[in-house]
Amino acid sequence: MVALTPEMQELFKGTKYFAIATASKKGDPNVVPIGMAILMDPETIWIGNQFFHQTLQNVKENPRVSLLVWTAGVPGCLKLKGDITLVEKGADYEKMYKMVKERKPTLECKGLLIMKITDVFDCRSGAEAGKRLL
């Protein structure tokens, strides 16, 4: 695992929507936009499952994911890679369920994906594009 720097944490917290990429066991890719990603600590991201179908199937087959952290007009862009643990009951799931309801009462949280960050890359365009940061 790696820990995001304070600057990376600020970029994450300033991002409203993310893209999460997964792949099946056979390598079929999937990417979807998400809005419920919470940085719980510098090494851990909680992702609420309100609508996942193919993403959920892929994570069950292959727990590696990539998360794009980018917002138009804000300097910086990160590609985070990590390992997912799927949680569908228990205290952590209940906590996420409440966080989803507080943010948007009409949504139903079906599960929690806990992402442990393993790699961080720069995804801005230019000479440093793709550079491993952590």
Q: How many CB atoms lie within 10 A of CB 127?
A: 6
pLDDT bucket at 123, cuts 50 / 70 / 90: very high
Digit-coded pLDDT (tens) for 6-57: 999 999 999 999 999 999 999 999 999 999 999 999 999 999 999 999 999 9
Q: Superfamily for 6-122?
A: Electron Transport, Fmn-binding Protein; Chain A (2.30.110.10)
Helices (H), ranges, the chain:
6-13, 54-61, 91-103
pLDDT bucket at 91, cuts 50 / 70 / 90: very high
Q: Where do the domains of the chain lie?
A: 6-122
Closest to 77 in 3D by CA, of 124, 113, 32, 31: 124
The rounded distance, in Å, linking the Cα atoms of 106 and 70 is: 26
Digit-coded pLDDT (tens) for 61-88: 999 999 999 988 888 899 999 999 999 9
First to last CA, the chain: 9
